[in-house]
Structures are given as C-alpha cells and as structure tokens.
Amino acid sequence: METTSAKPGGPTDRYDRQIRLWGEAGQRRLEAASVCVVTASATGTETLKNLVLPGVGAFTLVDGGTVSVRDYGANFFLTPDAAAVGTPRATAAVAALGELNEAAAGTALSDDLSTLLTADGEGPDADGAAAAAFVSAYTVVVATQMGEGHPALRRLARACWVTGVPLVVARSFGLYGTVRVVASPEATVLNARDGSADGGADLRLTAPWPALSALAAATDLDALDDAAHAHVPAVVLLLKALASWAAAHGGGIPSSMAERGAFKKRLAGLRRPSLRDEDNFDEAARAANIRAAADGAAGAPSPAVAAVLGHPRADPGRTERGGPAGGARAPAAAAAAAASTRRQRPPSADAAALHGGWASGADAAAADASSFWLHAAALRSFVETAGGGRLPVAGALPDMTSDTGSYVALQTVYAERAAADAAAVAAAAAELAPRRPVAATRRRSPSSRGRSVDAGYEGAGGGEGGGGGGGGGSGGSGGDTTPPVLAAWDEASVKDFCRHAAAVRVIRYRSLDDEWGPAARGGADGAASPTDGGAPTAAAVEGGLPPAAYTSAGYTGTVGGVFAANGGGGDGCGRDGGGGGDGGVGGDGAALPSGLPAHYEANAGDGGAPSAASLYVALRAADRFYGHHGRYPGETIYGEPDGVDVDGDAALVRDLAAGVRAEVGLPPAASDDGDVVEVVRAAAAELHPVAALVGGLAAQEVMKLVTKQFVPVNNTVVVNLVAGTTESFEA
C-alpha cells in the first residue's frame, strides 16, 4: 500500500545557512534527491528528520509493521495522539516527518522489505530484477536496525551494489551504534572541503606565470608613499622577494631551514624602517615558510588527486561503453526496466534537469559518474599538456591587507589565468565527450516514458541485432538507432571542476558480501551473490547488470609522468601504493582486504583490544545469533511467558565472536568477554537518544553522498556511548 504527500514548490532562502556549507550546487543536488529509508524505527525516523529539515526532494519510508504500544516508548515520532495502535507504522511516521518541511515529498510503503525485493508482481524474483528495479528509483538507500542476520538486508545490499545506488546501514544497539557506507564500486567527491582547495594554497608563488611576474615587477616599493607601501598585497611582496632570491641563487628557491631563515631576512629588508606596523609584511612573513618552501611544486597534483587522474576512467584515450556487454539488451536488464516502469513515479523536472535528463536513481548515479570521469579525463589531458604537470589555477584569493586597487589588480590576474585554464580544460572535454556516452542501462524522458532506450557508443547503434552504424553501439532488437547520450558537461561545470581540482577524490568501497566473508556470499535466503571478489561475476554481467557496476578498475599507480611520481602510497592513494584508503582506489579489480586488522594493530595498547574492534566483533556475533535463533541475544520475545537464559545466550555469542575474529584476522582478546556481556545485556534495545546520534551520523553520510562534497567515511563507524567514543575503520 502506498500513500503520498504533495510536494509544493517554495523558496529556498530558508536554507541560507546550510547553503553556506555546501553551496547552491549542493542544495540543488539535495532537492533533486530521492532517499529510501527502511524501517520506521527511531534510528530510521531520526535519519529522515535530518534529511527532511535541510530539504531533501523526496523520501520513501518502508515498513510493513503497525504501531504498537511499545513504539510509543521507543520512537518520539510515534505518539498516541498522532498514531493509534494498529495504524501502519510507515504512514504514521511519514505524516509526522512531513510536518517538519512541506517541501519534502514523503511516501509510505506499508510492505515488508522482503516482499518488495523478492517479487515483481508476477512471481518470484529469481534473477534479482525486481530488487534492482526497486532500488534503482532512489539516489541513496538507508537500511536501519538490520544486520548480517537479516536475509532481506543481504538482498538489498546486492541490489544496491550491482545498480550503483549507495547504501547506508545504520543501527543503534543499546548504548552502541554502527554506520556502514557502501558505494558501488566507488564514491566520487567533487569537493572534499578539507582545505586542499583553499584559494590561499594555490597562489603559484614558486611557479608564477608571466602576467603574475609582470605585476610584481611593476610594483616599485621605493616609489610608493608610506600608506601605499603598507598596503602592498603580501602575495606581491613574496613574489618580489622570491625573484630577488632566485636572481642571487641561480634561479633556485629557499628550501633548507637555513635558506628559509635567510629568505625571511631578505623579506624583512623590504620593510620601511620608518613604519613601525606594516601588517602586509607580517602576513608575508607568516606565509613565507609554507609558500617559499614549495620547491617549485605549486599546483602539482597531490597524491589523492593523482589517484583520481591515474584512474583508468580518467584516461583521455579511453572510449567508454554506454550499454550492456554484447550489444543486445540482456534479459535481467530488460526485466528490471519493465519492473521499474511499473513501480517508479515519473522523475521530477528538477531531478531530470540536474542529471542531464536522467531519472534520480541508478541511472542518475551512472550519469553523474560518467560526467565526473569526463571532467577528470579532460583535467588530466590539461595537466599532461598545457598545464605542464600542474592543475588549473583556482583563481581565488584569500583575504589580505591591501588597498582596493592593488587587490583588484591582483585578483584580475588570477581570475584571467583561471579562466584561460578552464577554457583549455573545456576544449579537452569537448574533444573527449563523443567517446564518453553515459554508462547507464536505460534512459527515461517525457518522450520515452514507459519504454527503455539503450545508450550506445562509438556510433549510433549498429550493435548486435541492429542495422548499420558504428561497430560497438547498443543495437538491441529491431535495430534501435538511438544516438548515444553523451556525458553532461558545460563551461560552468568545467569551471567549477577546475576551481576545486585540488579537492576531487575517489573512494573505493568493499561490498557487504566481501565484509561478511564466503559464508555470507551464499546468503541465508539461498540466493547466490552476484559479486565475486568485490566485482560482479561474468554471469551477473551477462545477466544485464548496469555497466556502472563493473566498468571501473582500481588505480595501479603505474600511469606515467606526474601520476607515477605522486601516485604510489601516501595520503589518498591507499595501502602500499595500491589504493583503498580515504581518497584512493584499489590496486586492481579484486576485492579490497579488510582494514580492521591494521586498525587493531594501530590502536591496540596495554589495555588490550581497542573498543571499536571488539565491539564490531561482538555486534556481528549478535547478528549471527539472530540469524540462527530469530531473536537477538538477551532479547525477550514480546508475549512469551518464559524468560531468556542470558548466561546461555552469552556463551553462544562468545563462540560466534571467536569465529568472527578468526574470519576478519583479529587475535583473541580478553576484552571480548566484557563486550559480549554488554551486547547481550543491551538485548538490541533501541534507545531514542542513541538513535538520534546514530541517525544524525547516517544522515551526514547521506548528505556527503548526495551533494558529493566532504569525504564520506570508508567504511564503518562504531559508536560507543559507554566510553563516549566514535571510531572508524575499513571493515
């Protein structure tokens, strides 16, 4: 049963404060997003609260249960006045959440998740098409109060993984909580907002271009009066001091500690003794250590950016495929599209405009990825040619002591260079775009609603079963000659990409099947996993999974030039130059190994195992207990007269925890027993204050994935409110 509330239009000036965080582009992405949250639990409603208030475009709440007396004490959004006993829980929660922001369109699905994922209305979903179609309608899916022991979560996770729809799994468990982020196979970040793209860090003082050098040379400090001398921008002062140093040292720049000290004295020598306070010189002196020690590398890609530019999809010579392997439409993809046509609401005009005409969901995710990698390939082409190994100039200036005329003149020089660099990147994008159609399985538009249009490549559709055209197009039955849909780009998008080029990131994730190990890949529901080693199997690909699920391979760190110099190891490139860390990607197409053993070794001390590692093990053991017994350890089934053997449950959980530890590569630890006892004592209780914190963390990760700003966690956060700590690691 589905109920929907209207979404009236309204001004966005109410979001002024948050727009200062993620900008208008981020707000547009949020307002075009459609988020699905599973279960109307306290954690689920708290997650939605933190998405509805800032203005998510649409949200769907899935819960097949009805309101009971127990809900009144566990969920502040379900009250006796607003939600009578027996009312569909999803409907009651959506009504309460809708009051927070009338601009967010809320939908309640009063069905069990397993029902939605295992049948398409005509029979069992043997090939996963219905599950794929269900998740494909959404920008992000959030599953709450579910764990390894829930077969429906496994099916949901697999559907999200193969369609490329990000999944966030969040739950509160007594005074503990976890948040797990899964993005298949990678998450791209347009602006990490970690300070790496700060305009003040991209002044190119050690590698100025002619116009910037000319501006500094034209400033005659001796000819200025005292007022003008005290307002020469610090950038100009540093440029003049560096030019003087280079002339005296054969073109070099100060690098050693002694040389930097000598450089500061040279800079101080430009002061006027008659002026006691010259703030501009103080600013220049504070910046001298950082900017004069750059050793000529100003503007060079950082290791994290080099990992992006070294990615196979950022190769300017790459030709991307826009349809399923083999040209003809595969059965599972066709079934998914048919089921999707029956289930989905028409995409909003805002979402279609934002994603280049693609519906919000799996297709929009694929379109966004194609657009990101087109921009990255154009950026790499620029770096390798016109940029001379450097990124485009960002064009922004930090605040500094200066008179208006001098600051505007300096700002103009930077803005003109930034515009010229962006134009060069745009020219590269225009050249590369014809070979980079959107990598999605279907396109929806007002003229094609109700049918599926395959995106072709290298021609207008002469694939298998089609007549004429280029050799690799998506022909389909009947010779579809639909022209390929190119990845979206324009001058504005290129300019914005260049402005934040130092802050682009790509993060490779592990699937839940990889985390849960070989035993989990078979699945408690008896369905074989479509993944093997973190990537879809050949059978899954043949079954019509979207190319976004399998076209990406990991960065190897072997691409020539600046990428080879910067790509191996270090921040952003992962482990041993092979990727996998924050901002990096994997070293090959195989599954990423768990980072939990490394986290354990880094944090273990005299006190034994770190709380996050041991809690993680205990919670997974509790999930396995649930899979065997249909209840969590220590939990009393409502209505049953017999009590629970807490000691017996704890003994079983200890045995399960030992198995989990062996699987993830952790040594036995004495602290395990205490964590097991606490987990059993918690009895999977959902305390609303804990749920509020966990839901806030989950919503924060959803925001990062939707706006593509800030770096999402990779991949697990463990909350321990007994100790008052949160820790993250790659599970």
Question: Which pLDDT value is given to residue 54?
Answer: 92
Question: Which pLDDT value is given to residue 605?
Answer: 54
Question: Which pLDDT value is given to residue 663?
Answer: 86
Whole-angstrom Cα distance, residue 357 to residue 150? 36
Contact 333, 341 (CB under 8 A): no
Is 571 domain-assigned? yes
The residue out of 644, 665, 682 marking a domain boundary is 682
Q: Does the pLDDT at position 253 exceed 50?
A: yes
Is 548 domain-assigned? no
224-233, 509-518, 531-540 — most confident range: 224-233
What is the domain-level CATH number for residue 22? 3.40.50.720
CA distances from 474 to 123, 263, 355, 440, 553 (A): 29, 62, 21, 11, 22
Q: Which pLDDT tens digit goes with each residue over 270-291?
A: 888 888 788 889 888 888 765 5
Is 561 domain-assigned? yes
Q: Are residues 232 and 358 in the same domain?
A: no
Q: Are residues 388 and 480 in the same domain?
A: yes
Q: Are residues 66 and 128 in the same domain?
A: yes
Is 645 domain-assigned? yes
Question: Which pLDDT value is given to residue 254?
Answer: 81
Q: Does the pLDDT at position 606 exceed 50?
A: no
What's the rounded mean pLDDT across residues 340-345?
38
Lowest mean pLDDT among 184-193, 419-428, 698-707: 184-193
Whole-angstrom Cα distance, residue 60 to residue 432? 38
Spell 153-181 as b/e; 16+ CB within 10 A means b: bbbbbbbbbbbbbbbbbbbbbbbbbbbbb
Q: Are strands 34-38 and 140-144 parallel, antiparallel or unpaired?
A: parallel
CA distances from 374 to 178, 192, 238, 728 (A): 35, 19, 37, 32
Question: Which pLDDT value is given to residue 118?
Answer: 78
Question: Which pLDDT value is given to residue 246?
Answer: 86
Is 585 domain-assigned? no
Q: Are residues 219 and 281 in the same domain?
A: yes
What radius of gyration do the chain's Cα atoms show? 28
Q: Which pLDDT tens digit goes with each residue over 163-195?
A: 889 999 999 999 999 999 998 778 888 888 876
The residue out of 228, 263, 291 marking a domain boundary is 291
Question: Which pLDDT value is given to residue 274?
Answer: 80
What's the rounded mean pLDDT across residues 151-157?
90
Whole-angstrom Cα distance, residue 522 to residue 528? 5
Whole-angstrom Cα distance, residue 283 to residue 488? 42
Question: Which pLDDT value is given to residue 336?
Answer: 43
Question: Which pLDDT value is given to residue 585?
Answer: 35
What's the rounded mean pLDDT across residues 143-148?
92
Question: Which pLDDT value is given to residue 368?
Answer: 84
Q: Does the pLDDT at position 197 exceed 50?
A: no
What's the rounded mean pLDDT across residues 315-334?
51
Is 538 domain-assigned? no
CA distances from 56 to 20, 26, 369 (A): 17, 11, 21
Q: Does the pLDDT at position 424 exceed 90?
A: yes
Residue 124's DSSP bridge partners are 119
DSSP class of 443: B
For residue 72, the enclosing domain spans 2-186+687-729
For tokens 């503007």, name the residue: 299
Q: Are strands 535-536 and 531-532 parallel, antiparallel or unpaired?
A: antiparallel
10-24, 68-82, 602-616 — most confident range: 68-82
Q: What is the rounded average pLDDT for all residues in the chain?
A: 74
Specify the higher pLDDT residue, 677 or 339: 677
Work out the percent of the chain whose per-residue pLDDT is above 90.
Answer: 29
Q: Are residues 174 and 311 in the same domain?
A: no
pLDDT class for 237, splitting at 50, 70, 90? very high
Contact 164, 487 (CB under 8 A): no
Residue 191 CA neighbour count, 13 Å, CB half: 21
Question: Which pLDDT value is given to residue 592?
Answer: 60
Question: Which pLDDT value is given to residue 166?
Answer: 93
Q: Which pLDDT tens digit goes with each residue over 478-531?
A: 344 445 566 678 888 899 999 989 889 999 898 998 888 754 433 334 333 333
Q: Are residues 97 and 167 in the same domain?
A: yes
Question: Which pLDDT value is given to residue 406?
Answer: 93
Q: Which pLDDT tens digit goes with each residue over 243-252?
A: 888 888 887 7
pLDDT class for 659, splitting at 50, 70, 90? confident
The residue out of 233, 256, 291 marking a domain boundary is 291
Q: Are residues 377 and 253 in the same domain?
A: no
pLDDT class for 641, splitting at 50, 70, 90? low
Lowest mean pLDDT among 19-33, 355-369, 638-652, 675-689: 355-369
What's the rounded mean pLDDT across residues 540-547?
31
| Dihedral sign for Cα atoms in the order 386, 387, 388, 393 | positive
Q: Is residue 397 classed as helix, strand or coil in its secondary structure?
A: coil
Q: Are residues 694 and 675 in the same domain?
A: no
pLDDT class for 138, splitting at 50, 70, 90? very high
Count of domains in the chain? 4
Residue 94 CA neighbour count, 13 Å, CB half: 28
- Which burial class, exposed, middle or buried, applies to 483 when counting CB atoms under 10 A from its CB (0-12, 13-18, 19+)? middle
Q: Cis peptide before 715, with omega less than 30 degrees from 0?
A: yes
pLDDT class for 364, splitting at 50, 70, 90? confident
Q: Are residues 669 and 706 in the same domain?
A: no
Question: Which pLDDT value is given to residue 233?
Answer: 92
Q: Are residues 320 and 426 in the same domain?
A: yes
pLDDT class for 380, splitting at 50, 70, 90? very high
Q: Is residue 36 classed as helix, strand or coil in its secondary structure?
A: strand
Q: Does the pLDDT at position 242 exceed 60?
A: yes
Q: Are residues 150 and 252 in the same domain?
A: no
35-49, 69-83, 279-293, 478-492 — most confident range: 35-49
pLDDT class for 151, splitting at 50, 70, 90? confident
Residue 574's DSSP bridge partners are 579
Q: Are strands 716-720 and 535-536 parallel, antiparallel or unpaired?
A: unpaired
Is 601 domain-assigned? no
Is 420 domain-assigned? yes
Question: Which pLDDT value is given to residue 273?
Answer: 84
35-49, 295-309, 712-726 — most confident range: 35-49
DSSP secondary structure string for all residues of 336-354:
HHHHHHHHPPPPPHHHHHH
Q: Which pLDDT tens digit goes with each residue over 430-478?
A: 999 888 876 544 333 323 323 222 222 222 223 333 333 333 333 333 3
Specify the higher pLDDT residue, 152 or 325: 152
Specify the higher pLDDT residue, 354 or 414: 414
Q: Are residues 335 and 456 in the same domain?
A: yes
Q: Does the pLDDT at position 557 exceed 70?
A: no
Question: Which pLDDT value is given to residue 323?
Answer: 36
